[in-house]
Structure 1
C-alpha cells in the first residue's frame, strides 16, 4: 500500500505540475466561480488551513501543502481524497495515469474517487463531465446548493438542461431563498409548465410568491423562438381556485397591473375558461388593442354573436363610456 505520508511516494520526482500557465488557469477558474473553487470549500470543510498554498506558486509550496494535509486531524480517506485532487492536476498536464495509479495503490474508497473527480471537473469548468460523477447514486450529497448555483450561472451556455438534470438527480433542499428564486426563474424560462408544478414541491408559505414570479417571468421574458407561446401557456395553466384569485389580484390590482399585457392576459384567461361576460367586464378598456396578433374588437364581435342579448356588449366596449 502506498504511503501517503511520504511526499516522494505521492508526487513523482521531477514532475512540474504547477507551471505558470497552470497556476493562471486555476486562478482564472476561481474568479469565474465567485472567488472560491470547490477544492477551497473542501479544504475549509475539513479544516485544512492551506488555501493560500493552492495553486502552489513557489518551490516548496506543494510539499508544504502535502504536509498540512497529512497532518490534519481528519480520516485517511479524506487525506487521500485531497491528494488525489492535486494529482488530477498532474494527470491533466503531465502523466494521465498518475492520479488513478495513486487511487488504486492507496486504496482510495470508490465513492470518494467519484466525488473528487466531479468536483475537479467543476473547478475546471467541465460541467457536463462533472455531472456524470456528481449525480452518481452512491454519493452522499455534498455542496449541492453550491453546485446547483454554479450550474445555473455558468452551465447553461454549455447545456441549458444541466441545472434541471442535477436538481432532478440530487434534489437539493433550496434553503437559500436567492437560490430558490434563481432556480425557479431558470426553470420558468425553460418550461413554464414544469415551473408551475415545481411550486407544489416547495414550502406552502412560498407558493404565492413563486406563483407571482411565474406570472412576472411569463410577461417579461418571452422565448425568442415563439414569444406568444409563453403567455398562451400561462393562460391555459390548470390553476386552483386560490391560484385563480392570486392571478387576477396580481394582474388587476397588484404589482403585475403595470405590465402592458396584464389586463389582456386576464381577459384571455377568462375567455379560455368560458367566462365570457366576466371577460367583457374586465376588458372594457381594451377596445382597439391587439393581443397575440388578435384584435379585441374581433373578439368582441364573436362574443356578441355567441351571447346575443344576454349582455350589452357595445356599451361595455364603447371607449366614450370609459
Structure 2
C-alpha cells in the first residue's frame, strides 16, 4: 500500500497549473465562495484557509502535510488525497487515471469513493453526474441541505437553463431526504416544488412540522402569484408547460384549514404578499370558491377594476342581488 506521507510518490507529475486554479476559483465563486472539498476539510477539523486550490508545488506540499498531520482516521485522509488526485488526474494523463490507481492501491471503500466522486463532480459543476453519485444507497448523506441548496441555486448562475422541468433537486430530495434544517433551504425548496405543482407542494407543506407551516405556505402563495420568483429557462416554454393561470386556479381551490385561510388573507392584504400582482383578486376569488359570499359582498378589498373582462364591482353587485334578503341573516353569514 502506498505511503500517503510520501509526497513525491503521490504527486509524481506536478502540481496545480494556473489554468486549473482559475477554473476551481470560478467554481468556488459559483458555489458561494466555498467548495464541498473545503467543507469536508472543515468537517475533519483541518485548517485550510487560503490553501485550496494550492498555488504551485509549495502550496500542494503544505496542504498535503496539513492533511497527513491531521488527527483524522486514515480512510478520511485517503478520501482527501483522492479528491486532490481527481483534480490533477486529467493533467497527469495516465491510464488508468492516477486517482483511480491510488483508490485501488489503498483499497478505498466504495461508499467513500462514491461520495468523493460526487462532491468532486459538484465542485466542478457537473450536476447530473454529481447527483448520480450522491444519491447512491451505499453512502451516508453528508452536507445534504447544502447540496440541495446548491442544486436549487443553479438557476441564479444560469448553469443549466434550469426551469420547472428540472428534476435534479427533487431527485436528490426524494433519495436522500435532507432535513431542511434552516429556512434558507426550506424557502427555495418549497418555491421549487410550487413551480412544478402547486397542489403537491401544499400537501408537502402539511407533512412538515407545525412551526414551519405558515412561512412555507406564504412562500407557496408568493411563488404561485409571482412567476419571477423562480426564473430560468425559456419563459414562453414554461408558460406552455404550466400556465400561471392554472397555478392560480389551483391555489384558489386548495382545501385550506381555517387557520391557513386566515394566514392567506393576512399575507395578501396586510403582509409581504399585498404587493404581489393579483393579491386582492386572489382573496376575493378564494371567498367565492369557498362559498363565503357574505364576506365577498361586504369586502373592503379593492382589487384592480377589471381583469380579463371581470369587473369586481359588477360581480359584487350581482352576488348581492342574488343573495337578496338572505344577505343579512345571521345563519347565512360566513
What's the TM-score, normalizing by structure 2? 0.81
* Alignment correspondent of 2:21: 23
The answer as to 2:203 corresponding to 1:205 is no
The answer as to 2:91 corresponding to 1:93 is yes
**2:28, 2:34 within 8 Å by CA — same for their partners in 1?**
yes
Matches within 5 A, 1:76-225: 76-95=74-93, 97-154=97-154, 157=158, 158=160, 159=162, 160-221=166-227, 224=235, 225=239
| Residue 66 (structure 1) aligned to one of 64, 67, 76 | 64
Q: Distance in 1 between matches of 2:172 and 2:249?
A: 28
| Residue 298 (structure 2) aligned to one of 281, 291, 314 | 281
* Alignment correspondent of 1:235: 252
**2:16, 2:54 within 8 Å by CA — same for their partners in 1?**
yes
Compute the displacement of 1:137 (Å): 1.4
| Residue 271 (structure 1) aligned to one of 288, 291, 297 | 288
Question: Would the alpha carbon gap of residues 59 and 6 (structure 1) be closer, same or farther in structure 2, given more than 3 Å must change?
Answer: closer
What's the TM-score, normalizing by structure 1? 0.83
Compute the displacement of 1:252 (Å): 4.1
Compute the displacement of 1:86 (Å): 0.9
Compute the displacement of 1:218 (Å): 2.5
SS of residue matched to 1:211: helix
* Alignment correspondent of 1:46: 44
Moved more, 149-158 or 205-214: 149-158
SS of residue matched to 1:16: coil
SS of residue matched to 1:36: coil
* Alignment correspondent of 2:5: 5
In structure 1, the gaps of 5 or more residues are 313-322
Compute the displacement of 1:232 (Å): 1.2
Compute the displacement of 1:174 (Å): 1.9
Indicate the RMSD between aligned Cα atoms, in angstroms: 2.8
* Alignment correspondent of 2:331: none
**1:33, 1:150 within 8 Å by CA — same for their partners in 2?**
yes
Deviations, residues 139-189 of structure 1 (Å, cap 9, x unaligned): 111111221221121267424332222222222222222222232233333
**2:89, 2:99 within 8 Å by CA — same for their partners in 1?**
yes
Moved more, 74-83 or 181-190: 181-190
Compute the displacement of 1:308 (Å): 6.8
In structure 2, the gaps of 5 or more residues are 328-334
Q: Distance in 2 between matches of 1:26 and 1:165?
A: 26
Q: Distance in 2 between matches of 1:65 and 1:102?
A: 18
Q: Point out the structure with max Rg over C-alpha.
A: 1
**2:296, 2:316 within 8 Å by CA — same for their partners in 1?**
no
Matches within 5 A, 1:289-304: 289-296=305-312, 299=315, 303=319
Compute the displacement of 1:85 (Å): 0.4
Moved over 6 A (4+): none
Question: Would the alpha carbon gap of residues 293 and 39 (structure 1) be closer, same or farther in structure 2, given more than 3 Å must change?
Answer: farther
Q: Distance in 2 between matches of 1:278 and 1:50?
A: 62
**2:297, 2:320 within 8 Å by CA — same for their partners in 1?**
no
SS of residue matched to 1:4: coil
Q: Distance in 2 between matches of 1:263 and 1:59?
A: 64
**2:226, 2:277 within 8 Å by CA — same for their partners in 1?**
no
Question: Would the alpha carbon gap of residues 106 and 219 (structure 1) be closer, same or farther in structure 2, given more than 3 Å must change?
Answer: same
**1:152, 1:163 within 8 Å by CA — same for their partners in 2?**
yes
Q: Distance in 2 between matches of 1:60 and 1:250?
A: 57
